A and B are shown apart, each in its own frame.
Chain A
Amino acid sequence: DAGITQSPRYKITETGRQVTLMCHQTWSHSYMFWYRQDLGHGLRLIYYSAAADITDKGEVPDGYVVSRSKTENFPLTLESATRSQTSVYFCASSEGRTERGGEQYFGPGTRLTVT
């Protein structure tokens, strides 16, 4: 099915482990985003990408790494997970510099627990 998917949907990992969250979209949208959502903090932008091989930091990038070798994929890696990174992570995409560029399409989220 077309759309934006995230995997895994749920993940439990231990402090210090590396973990990668996957995001895939089928629309060929130029922009992709990673957010985290914690109680009391709304959505916070971690990283975003305007196109393949172009990434930029958001509001809370520390402890995270992203890459975008293909337009449709935007993986997020926690290099050494900490308990403070326990959160729900959302991937989103948008068309970018078009009339509809401002609309974002969100994946279903990944609930990550770091023990």
Chain B
Amino acid sequence: GNSVTQMEGPVTLSEEAFLTINCTYTATGYPSLFWYVQYPGEGLQLLLKATKADDKGSNKGFEATYRKETTSFHLEKGSVQVSDSAVYFCALSDKGANAGKSTFGDGTTLTVKP
């Protein structure tokens, strides 16, 4: 079956530091890949996505590239802010007739200190 493995947290960074959160996956075929963000007290919201190999998803300064050869989708941001403190989830979903359900990683908690 499908699975997603995320870098274990928590991660603590100083403001303006570079962020990488690793995500690797196991899936049959070529799934769509997602990063979700959960701010304190809220539900998850989609941060970015990529639907095919070599696609780069980006939003709010965050980026992730769909790497088929390494089955990875690492999240990066060049300069984090205190407001980026949240839990980040990597996820995948099959396409076409099997789309709908997703497989989520365990989440990585990021704390950014001023």
Contacts and interface: CB of A to CB of B under 8 A. Distances in A.
Contact of A103 (B34, B97, B104): B34
Given A94-B100, A102-B99, A103-B49, A43 B89 contact: yes
Given A42-B89, A42-B106, A109 B100 contact: no
Contacts of B29: none
A96 interface: yes
Interface residues of A, number: 26
A42 B42 contact: no
A31 B102 CA distance: 11
B15 to A, nearest CB: 26
A31 B100 contact: yes
A97 B97 contact: yes
Residue of A30, A48, A95, A102 with most chain B CB atoms under a 10 A cut-off: A102
Given A42-B107, A101-B93, A102-B31, A107 B100 contact: no
Interface in A10-67: 30-31, 33, 41-43, 45, 48, 50
Contact of A106 (B43, B49, B100): B43
A102 B43 contact: no
B57 to A, nearest CB: 12
A104 interface: yes
B43 A101 contact: no
Contacts of A106: 36, 43-45
A108 interface: yes
A42 B96 contact: no
A45 B34 CA distance: 17
Which 5 A-B pairs rank lowest in CB-CB distance, beginning with the nearest? A102-B93, A101-B99, A106-B43, A42-B106, A96-B100
